[in-house]
Amino acid sequence: MKRFPLDYKPEWASPAEEYLEYAEVYKDAVLILLNEFTKQEPIHDYALAPVLFLLRQYIELQLKGIIMYFESPATHRPIKAHDIFSLYRKTHEVVEKRYKVPKANEEVSKFIEGLGKFDPKGEMFRYPETTIGEDFRDRCKRLDRKLYEQITLVPKLKEITEKIFQDLEGLEVYLDFMKESEEEAMIYYEPE
């Protein structure tokens, strides 16, 4: 039986890399569930709630990891915010200060904004009500039609999920490339 040591951390891993690795695990779980639900329709009305919880957690961890990418590991402090739309905006601000990046996918931006407004604290898909007693179903009734379809129809959820993964992981890959390019340039740079 294979053991998965939850206490393992590579010595070289920065806080940003740890967050990005955690995000990757949530992404894998989302993909497994969506693939299963694509093959066989879920039988429970709330079956997509765990998928949405995992997707939202992936988004939050991925964004925090990208923001931390620009921090020195020595001065690292946990990012306490949970509002994924604010984190999404901050991610793009931080990245654009240093690099010229392609414009964010508008559909992904709108989905993250809508999901962030619907679930600003990351609690809507974990419990049937918020910590102040607001009913999950009542909040669902206030969603715009497109977001409602994206979070309640498996094919639509799968489609937007793939776009989110492409957008956020594309940004991560771009940052890796730029960082490696800068490091290589420093090797060849000889100060006078």
Query: Residue 128's pLDDT band (boundaries 50, 70, 90)?
Result: confident
pLDDT value of residue 90: 93
Q: Give domain status of residue 2, yes or no.
A: no
Q: Give domain status of residue 88, yes or no.
A: yes
Q: Give domain status of residue 112, yes or no.
A: yes
Q: Give domain status of residue 120, yes or no.
A: yes
What is the residue-wise DSSP string for 142-175? TS-HHHHHHHHSHHHHHHHHHHHHHHHHHHHHHH
Assign 131 to helix, strand or coil.
coil
Q: Which amino acid belongs to residue 44?
A: H
Q: Which amino acid belongs to residue 138?
A: D
Assign 119 to helix, strand or coil.
coil
Q: Give domain status of residue 188, yes or no.
A: no
Residue 192 scores a pLDDT above 70: no
Q: Which two tokens stand for residue 94?
A: 């931080």
Number of structural domains in the chain:
1
Contact 55, 161 (CB under 8 A): yes
Contact 111, 150 (CB under 8 A): yes
pLDDT value of residue 38: 92
Q: When comparing pLDDT for 190 and 100, which is higher?
A: 100
CATH number at residue 104: 1.20.120.330
Q: Which of 75-89, 103-117, 126-140 has the lowest mean pLDDT?
A: 126-140
Q: Give domain status of residue 1, yes or no.
A: no
Condensed to tens digits (0 to 9), the pLDDT of residues 178-188 reads 888 877 777 76
The pair phi, psi for residue 80, each rounded to 5°, is -85, -15
Q: Give domain status of residue 191, yes or no.
A: no
Q: Where are the alpha helices (DSSP H) in the chain?
A: 15-39, 48-68, 84-98, 106-118, 136-141, 145-152, 154-188
Q: Give domain status of residue 131, yes or no.
A: yes
What is the C-alpha to C-alpha distance for residues 66 and 91, in angstroms, rounded to an integer?
A: 7
Condensed to tens digits (0 to 9), the pLDDT of residues 77-108 reads 889 999 999 999 999 998 888 888 778 899 99
Query: Residue 8's pLDDT band (boundaries 50, 70, 90)?
Result: confident
What is the C-alpha to C-alpha distance for residues 105 and 133, in angstroms, rounded to an integer?
A: 34
Residue 190 scores a pLDDT above 70: no
| pLDDT (average), residues 53-57 | 97
Which structural domain range is residue 66 located in? 15-178
pLDDT value of residue 189: 66
Q: How far apart are the first and last CA of the chain?
A: 58
Burial 169-190 (b: 16+ CB within 10 A, else e): bebbeebeeeeeeeeeeeeeee
pLDDT value of residue 75: 80
What is the C-alpha to C-alpha distance for residues 61 and 16, in angstroms, rounded to an integer?
A: 9
Query: Residue 191's pLDDT band (boundaries 50, 70, 90)?
Result: low
